[in-house]
Amino acid sequence: MTKFWRAQTTFNKWSTLPPEERTANAILSALDFDFFELLDSVTIARSRKHIETFYDTQDIGKFPQRLKPLSFHCQLAHRTDVIGFNEIFNQLSMLKLSVYAPVSYILSSRLAKYEALYDTQVEGGRGKLKQADRERSLQALMTINLLKRLESSVQSFRLTLQKLKDNHSATLEKIRVFEQTGKDATFVDAAVAFENAEPDDDEIPGIDDDKIGGKVQINLSDMDLPSWKHDLSADFVVIDALLTEMFKITPADDAKLQHLKTQINSKLASPINPGNRKVLIFTAFADTASYLYEHLAESLWQSHQIHTGKVTGSDGPISTLKSDTRQGYDFQSLLTLFSPRSKEKALTLPDESREIDILIGTDCISEGQNLQDCDYLINYDIHWNPVRIIQRFGRIDRIGSQNASIQLVNYWPDITLDEYINLKERVENRMVIADVTATADDNVLNTQSNDISYRKEQLRRLQEEVIEMEDLKTGVSITDLGLNDFRMDLLNYIKANGDLANVPTGMNAVVPADPARGLPPGVMFTLRNRNNGVNINQHNRLHPYYLIYIGQNGEVIADHTEAKRLLDLVRSACKGQSQPLPEVCSLFNQATDDGRNMGVYSDLLAQAIRSMVEVKKDNDLDSLFSSGKTSALVNTIVGLDDFELIAFLVIQESK
């Protein structure tokens, strides 16, 4: 656990860096060697870009072509008597949501006893996290949740408003009873229970919810009830007015729902791949998924005789498929029926001849699920984190797909992108201010500002293209860290060609330079440390072997601590090549007099070793290349006996 603790500490520091500095190389150089050893024992996921760059995909098939995303901006309703997205947000901005902030209304004369009971020390000793700060965070979180549900669907927003209205009604009723009877009662503060909640969580805290647990109990007799009652009533009026507006919108009036139906019908009528009628619909909220299933499943069966399924993390999976022996299928079975080829339905459900063509789900359809029988993915709402959008598309964007092309469809709110991004910033800034108040950490502001600016650009790009995970340069994939890919390459090579123990040292190969792929002219040396007492750097994950890439100009392109990058470059340069490349081999032979004049490479090797062992004197390097008659390597450095040259790869500039 100590290794994980140190790695977590390092990651936390790295995560606060500005986006341009928060790179894979930065985290690689900061993490301990022991952590990489541990990491290499786990399974590694591979991205599309990683596979296309470093693997020969002839035997396993290619990725499908990504068509340009379709982006739609639908208004809330076709009706003209319903307020729009911006006006609703303005109304939401008026809410104090004081129902989630009872501590803020405790009488000043009674406040001390609650502070003593419920305030906690902030890590690092910067001060105390007050219960009032927790409440402010919950208020901001609830505002974001309301906005996201509005963006998701009319139904999700409507249900959430109704729960919020019920919370306010129950609280106002409790105050009314207390005022009439004088019998003291307690009010439960929900803030602690939802301290780790996310803005897109499905559950909304109820005032008397069992999950809250009653950790923070406040006596109504200790509160400024007139002020609290006034603010609760003001919020109630706004919530009730919004709810009245939302109840005007029937499914027939719901512009986005009707557009979705049209889009699905269009896809079914004109498949982008012959005969493929499958559509995967993602939403952030189970409420929206249930709403879509209710208004799509039956009509699609009636009009097209196709089956629909729904999977969420908050209720059981359902579908229009019914079995003779059970009411329905479980989660994995539904996914198998939706993608029978990739999920090998013939093995797991051999007696079921039917399939599901429309699957509605939340992000419980996690990474790792292979659903590439489908060629059409719809984001019914846009997650505010672009990474989630890429992960969703990854369910169908998989190597070996039977589809020649795949389509991504995104539904955006009916406002301009600038309005959308500015709205996001305004809401998220509430959360930031609450964090700063609670922790007294000004860095939160800088970090959040950088994140918002960066995500703004990614959201812009999402309207026009499918961006790669690697393009989100502030993120680190597990493939940036582990070396299991290369171990598998080595095992497969040995299986096909036999043990490498008898291969002579000093062998070389020549490949063409390709600066666009990170391969400028130079040479990569592979050395072995023969003296265990000379362990240059604990960051070398290949010890006792050392890789180093030095340019023709003598500048180190990648040093021995960048093992993952170097191995990636070697694989990229040599992938698919089993025979010498005549053009570049001829240029190398001309430059070295068929290997008899290796002075240039002797100098580069000397510089490479100097960069590792930091010595100044030169010694004889002849034996590092071969035991033959070559007399090219005449320079020497201290440390010769510590190293043996295993092989070198020349990256030759073409003429």
Section 542-561 average pLDDT? 88
Section 527-556 average pLDDT? 76
Same domain, yes or no, for 200 and 240? yes
- Residue 413 has a pLDDT of 81
Q: Is the pLDDT of residue 617 over 70?
A: no
Instruction: Report yes or no on 458 lying in a domain.
Output: no
3-state secondary structure string, 279-347? EEEECCCHHHHHHHHHHHHHHHHHHHCCCEEEECCCCCCEECCCCCCCCCCCHHHHHHHHCCCCCCHHH
Q: E strand or H helix at 53, and its extent?
A: helix 48-54
- Residue 513 has a pLDDT of 93
| SS3 label, residue 557 | strand
Contact 369, 334 (CB under 8 A): no
Q: Is the pLDDT of residue 366 over 80?
A: no
Burial of 602 (0-12, 13-18, 19+ CB in 10 A): buried
Section 568-589 average pLDDT? 90
Q: Is the pLDDT of residue 639 over 60?
A: no
Same domain, yes or no, for 110 and 219? yes
Count of alpha carbons within 13 angstroms of residue 231, beta-carbon side: 15
pLDDT digits (tens, 9 = 90+) for 75-97: 999 899 999 888 898 888 888 88
Q: Which domain holds residue 291?
A: 48-68+254-415+465-477
Tell me the C-alpha distance between 411 and 142, whole Å.
Answer: 23
How large is the angle between the packed helices 85-93 and 131-152, nearest 10 degrees?
Answer: 170
Q: The domain that contains 352 carries what CATH number?
A: 3.40.50.300
Same domain, yes or no, for 16 and 127? no
Q: Is the pLDDT of residue 66 over 70?
A: yes
pLDDT digits (tens, 9 = 90+) for 455-473: 566 677 777 777 665 565 5
Count of domains in the chain?
Answer: 4
Instruction: Report yes or no on 448 lying in a domain.
Output: no
Same domain, yes or no, for 56 and 87? no
Residue type, 33: F
Higher pLDDT, 258 or 326: 258
Tell me the C-alpha distance between 279 and 406, whole Å.
Answer: 11
Cα-flanking dihedrals φ and ψ of residue 392, to 5°? -60, -50
Count of alpha carbons within 13 angstroms of residue 240, beta-carbon side: 10
**35-49, 50-64, 305-319, 578-592, range with the lowest pLDDT:** 35-49
Tell me the C-alpha distance between 68 and 65, whole Å.
Answer: 10
- Residue 111 has a pLDDT of 83
Contact 86, 415 (CB under 8 A): yes
Q: What are the beta bridge partners of residue 410?
A: 71, 379
Across the chain, what does the average pLDDT equal?
Answer: 78
Instruction: Report yes or no on 206 lying in a domain.
Output: yes
Same domain, yes or no, for 33 and 54? no
Instruction: Report yes or no on 313 lying in a domain.
Output: yes
pLDDT digits (tens, 9 = 90+) for 177-186: 999 998 877 7
Give the DSSP letter of residue 571.
H
Instruction: Report yes or no on 442 lying in a domain.
Output: no
Q: E strand or H helix at 167, and its extent?
A: helix 154-181
pLDDT digits (tens, 9 = 90+) for 380-439: 998 767 778 888 888 888 887 899 999 999 998 877 656 666 665 655 554 444 443 333
pTM of the full structure: 0.68
pLDDT digits (tens, 9 = 90+) for 599-612: 999 889 888 888 87
Section 26-37 average pLDDT? 61
Same domain, yes or no, for 93 and 53? no
- Residue 615 has a pLDDT of 35
**188-192, 528-532, 609-613, range with the lowest pLDDT:** 188-192
Q: Is the pLDDT of residue 444 over 50?
A: no
Give the DSSP letter of residue 125.
S
Instruction: Report yes or no on 460 lying in a domain.
Output: no
Residue type, 126: R
Please name the residue that has the structure tokens 């985290």: 27
Q: Is the pLDDT of residue 200 over 70?
A: no
Q: Is the pLDDT of residue 229 over 60?
A: yes
Q: Which residues contact 261 (CB under 8 A, 6 or more apart)?
A: 296, 299
For the chain, the maximum distance between any two Cα atoms, rounded to a whole number of angstroms, is: 107
Q: Which two tokens stand for residue 314?
A: 């908050």
Residue 202's pLDDT band, with cuts at 50, 70 and 90, is low
Cα-flanking dihedrals φ and ψ of residue 428, to 5°? -70, -30
Tell me the C-alpha distance between 349 and 595, whole Å.
Answer: 63
**158-167, 190-199, 403-412, range with the lowest pLDDT:** 190-199
Q: Compute CA distances 475 → 19, 385, 455, whole Å.
A: 9, 12, 12
Tell me the CA end-to-end span of the chain in Å, nearest whole number.
54
Instruction: Report yes or no on 501 lying in a domain.
Output: yes
Same domain, yes or no, for 9 and 132? no
Instruction: Report yes or no on 304 lying in a domain.
Output: yes
